[in-house]
A and B are shown apart, each in its own frame.
Chain A
Amino acid sequence: MTSRVRKRILPVERARPANLVELDEFYRLFFLPLVRRGVRRHGLSFEDAGDVVQDAFILALSKLDPERNPKAWLYQVVDHLALNLRRKTRRRALLVARWQERDSPNHQAND
């Protein structure tokens, strides 16, 4: 049987406690530079960029192929997620503006 279910590519070692020194270095060497890219290239806030990068790492658990260029893959995923966030933010702002206009006293008076 050909399995179409995508197996988890990166094993999650839940039982193994995190090495804090390694995680701290991971944060500085990998996490923060990706956050900074999100801020610089896509104009995100640091907080939003942090969320985007975290989402990219979560996606990486099941989709990152270590044999192909993982750094380039992360860059592209961060870019796509950042663009999606910006589109979503713009759409939300438009909707809010429209509803605010609709709820404004002037608009209600005209109804």
Chain B
Amino acid sequence: MTDSVEDLVRLIPQWVAATQGVERLSGEPQMGGDLDKRVRDLLASTTEGQDAFLTDEALGTVTAITRDLLSLKGSARTLDRFYSVVRFVETARWPPDTFGERAEVLCQLSLAAWRICRRLSRFDEAHHWLSVHDQHFAEPSTAKECSRADLESLAASESARDPHERTVEELFAFAALAREWRDTEPLRAKDLASALYGHLSKRSVPDSEADVVTYLRGDLALSIGVACRLLGKWRESEAWFTSAERRFSNSGDAELSLAMVSYGRLGLEYDRDNYRAAYAGFRRLGALFQLHGATFDRLKCETASGISLKSLGEVEQAHLVLSQLLLEPDLARHPCEPFVLVNLAETAVKIGKLEDARSYLQRACASLARRPRPMVSGFAKIVIGDILRKEGFLKEAVEVFREGVKDFAKVGAPAWVGYQRLILADTLIALGRSEEGELEILAALPSIEELELIPQGLAAVALLRESVRRRKPDPQALRELRELLQKRR
């Protein structure tokens, strides 16, 4: 028997038939009592047989301790217990985990610790716990699937479901979903986070929840702003960043929260070709996050500064900055790992190191297989297609570029879709398949026109459309538009 859904469904009737009137549970773990002693006993219990999986009894003890920790108001001493229990759960060997229980426990504990830290005004630690939460939230679990389904039905309902019914834990999970999707599936993130933001605005908030709800409103505004940016809706993005700043300004952890909004605004600077300002800004922010011990955010800033250097044409320096990130011990756990690798592959291609580029792309694909990110997959395919073109494999490049178009279309990112279609068109025309190339250009133009392009961009679109109408695609116009969109990435 396995932990598969098929076995679950098959055995429910037999279980019910076999256990009617039978006492099912034995050996209930201790509830209540000296919590410190129970935590110490738990940690000591695994010093023998450290390679063994946790027993049912140990799992029951973890559960009882977690329940008791979650019911505490919180003090500095309580936080020490959280650190111990979380470390234990992270390092212990969890048996076959049908429901993703381990991830769920770690999310519950880190959320509770986050709240306690905020109450104690220990904001750097609160930020750390938020990172711990998001790392484990990224792992698959049934709890996360339920949150996703709940958020989608909340967003879809025309008469708003009473937001008072939602617990803080549920709301926090919704916001975590928005944070996860804003970089990977921006259209979905924007729609769902906007619906949730609307619901939260109507919610009357008891004092005990005021801090969390204010934070969540700011966090959702930030997520929507980031998503809008990736969708090419710059003005909307700026408005949401301003809303996030307003929410965060009055909170105790304003510096860190506002720094996260600044990161989003620097992304807009980058999109508007202000690479020098973006580079300087990312460096400054990275230093600030370093000061606060916010490793994950620092890594994001260093990745972004490397990409800014690449766009400034300082390819060797960019390659160096990105290569150094591979030495970071936390990179493997960081969501930006595949993005770093794909950008490294691109810089490696530009400096003529095709073998290195292939190696980075292989690692990126392995990382994406573990944690799918359609936008990064699409970008990887641009680089792979580029390598194939350089090596003369145009037909293979066409297939890869087509796959990339699908990746970007899946997440609703018009700049990427348009750019990818134009590269595809260029390759098809080079292959002598002009008609197909023209179709790709015509398919690309409507989504490109949705973007807030500068006048030269609009002129290039008009020129290209006219040239295709005359059945003679203008290569100059095609190249200009491609370069413009490349900068928009």
Contact = CB atoms under 8 A, between A and B. Distances in A.
Interface of A: 10-14, 16, 18-19, 21-23, 25-37, 39-41, 43, 45-47, 50, 54, 57-58, 60-61, 64, 66, 69-72, 75-76
B2 to A, nearest CB: 8
A41 B16 CA distance: 24
Given A46-B60, A54-B24, A40 B105 contact: yes
Q: Point out which of B25, B149, B169 has the most chain A C-beta atoms below 10 A from its C-beta.
A: B25
Nearest to A56: B12
B93 to A, nearest CB: 15
Contacts of B11: 22-23, 26, 30
B5 interface: yes
B71 A76 contact: no
B9 A66 contact: yes
A47 B28 CA distance: 8
Contacts, number: 122
14 contacts: A13-B17, A14-B17, A18-B17, A27-B24, A29-B98, A33-B101, A36-B59, A40-B70, A54-B19, A61-B16, A69-B145, A70-B9, A71-B142, A76-B146
Interface of B: 1, 3, 5, 7-9, 11-19, 24-25, 28-29, 31, 56, 59-60, 63-64, 66-67, 70-71, 95-99, 101, 104-105, 108, 142-143, 145-146, 149, 169
Given A40-B108, A64-B9, A23 B98 contact: no
Contacts of A39: 63-64, 67
Contacts of B24: 27, 31, 50, 54
Ranked nearest first, the 4 interchain pairs of A and B with the lowest CB-CB distance are A18-B18, A36-B63, A12-B13, A46-B28
A23 B16 CA distance: 10
A30 B10 CA distance: 12
B163 to A, nearest CB: 17
Given A69-B145, A72-B145, A75-B143, A13 B63 contact: no
A37 B64 CA distance: 10
A22 to B, nearest CB: 5
A71 B29 CA distance: 25
A66 B12 CA distance: 11
Contact of A43 (B5, B71, B143, B146): B71
Given A29-B96, A69-B145, A72-B142, 18 more contacts: A10-B9, A10-B12, A22-B1, A23-B18, A30-B3, A36-B59, A36-B101, A37-B104, A39-B67, A41-B169, A45-B28, A45-B31, A47-B25, A61-B16, A66-B9, A71-B142, A75-B143, A75-B146
A22 B6 CA distance: 13
A22 B70 CA distance: 34
A47 B142 CA distance: 23
B13 A61 contact: yes
A30 B2 CA distance: 11
B14 A71 contact: no
Contacts of A57: 12, 15-16
B3 A29 contact: yes
Contacts of B145: 69, 71-72
B285 to A, nearest CB: 37
Given A36-B63, A40-B108, A70-B5, A30 B17 contact: no
A30 B4 CA distance: 10
B9 to A, nearest CB: 4
Given A29-B98, A37-B104, A46-B25, A11 B18 contact: no
A75 B99 contact: yes
A33 B96 CA distance: 11
Contact of B16 (A12, A29, A66): A12
A33 B99 CA distance: 7
B95 to A, nearest CB: 8
Contacts of B15: 18, 23, 26-27, 31, 57
A30 B9 contact: no
Contact of B98 (A45, A64, A71, A76): A71
A102 B108 CA distance: 42
Contacts of A12: 13, 16-17
Contacts of A14: 17
A10 B218 CA distance: 46
A71 B8 contact: yes
A76 B145 CA distance: 11
Contacts of A70: 5, 8-9
Contacts of A35: 25
A60 B17 CA distance: 13
